[in-house]
Amino acid sequence: MSGDSREEAARVRAERLGRLPSGLLDDPRLSRLSAWGARFEGLGISPGASGNLSVRSDRGFIISRTEVELPRVGRDDWVEVTGMVREPDGTLAVEYYGDHIPSRDAFVHGTVYARQAGAQAVFHLHDQEMLGAAPGLGIPSTERFFPAGTDGSVREIERFLDSNPGVRYFVLVDHGIVAWAEDLDSAGALVEERHHSALVKDD
């Protein structure tokens, strides 16, 4: 790998295992995720088709698909990720159920779920206000930037979580924010609270 971590290329191999079971699509948590997505868009935290929200499932986690605007996530826009591995050559391999390939940022979520047994919801958003305000607010951050879907990005998040075991909200440097909690409404409230703290600091 080059000395500049930004040059590492994403290598993701996705294997579709089938459609999402209808029972999962009827999970009431999915409508709550959509509601939070609409709220985040209104606050300017999830501009365009950026960010992704997830909840833990029995087989892994359910996440909004890639390239979808969070307030407009429909029944066919959810993906269940059931397997994630790093192959010896650095390729990230993912197994999933659903009609769309999961976002490369699914590895952000999967790494948090693997490292935090209490995490039932993980939110990853591109809160530009927080990226600028985080140092002054004492918000912890990863040290190095790696593109989404790279082995380096997974290793950097693992390193951060192992070094900061109690942190539920942190910044992915030059990228976005990550929050997790024991339930999705608590994760959403944490994101909103931190966003407002960044706005106050900028005033």
DSSP per residue, 121-163: EEEEE--HHHHHHHHHHT--B-SS---TTSHHHHHHHHHHHHH
Q: Which comes out higher in pLDDT, residue 85 or 66?
A: 85
**pLDDT surpasses 90 at 171:** yes
Residue 197 belongs to a domain with what CATH number? 3.40.225.10
Could you please report the per-residue DSSP string of 10-74? P-EEEEEEEPPPHHHHT-HHHHHHHHHHHHHHHHTSS-TT--EEEEE-SSSEEEEPTT--GGG--
pLDDT at 79 over 50: yes
pLDDT given for residue 71 in this prediction: 76
pLDDT of residue 7: 66
Is the predicted pLDDT of residue 118 greater than 70, yes or no? yes
Q: Categorize the per-residue pLDDT at 67 as very low, low, confident or very high, splitting at 50, 70 and 90.
A: confident
- The whole-chain average pLDDT of the chain stands at 90
Domain assignment of residue 30, given as a range? 8-202
Confidence category of residue 73, pLDDT binned at 50, 70, 90 = confident
- Is the pLDDT assigned to residue 202 strictly greater than 90? no
* Residue that is written with structure tokens 């935090």 in the block: 116
**Residue 156: inside a domain:** yes
Cα→Cα distances 109→12, 130, 133, 191, Å: 15, 19, 23, 15
Q: 160, 171 in Cβ contact below 8 A?
A: no
Q: Is residue 3 part of a domain?
A: no
* pLDDT above 90: residue 1: no
* Number of compact structural domains in the chain: 1
Average pLDDT of the residues in 24-42: 91
Residue 41 belongs to a domain: yes
Tokens of 56: 């833990």
pLDDT grade for 6, boundaries at 50, 70 and 90: low
pLDDT at 50: 78
Q: Is the pTM of this model over 0.75?
A: yes
Residue 2, pLDDT above cutoff 80? no
Q: Is residue 84 part of a domain?
A: yes
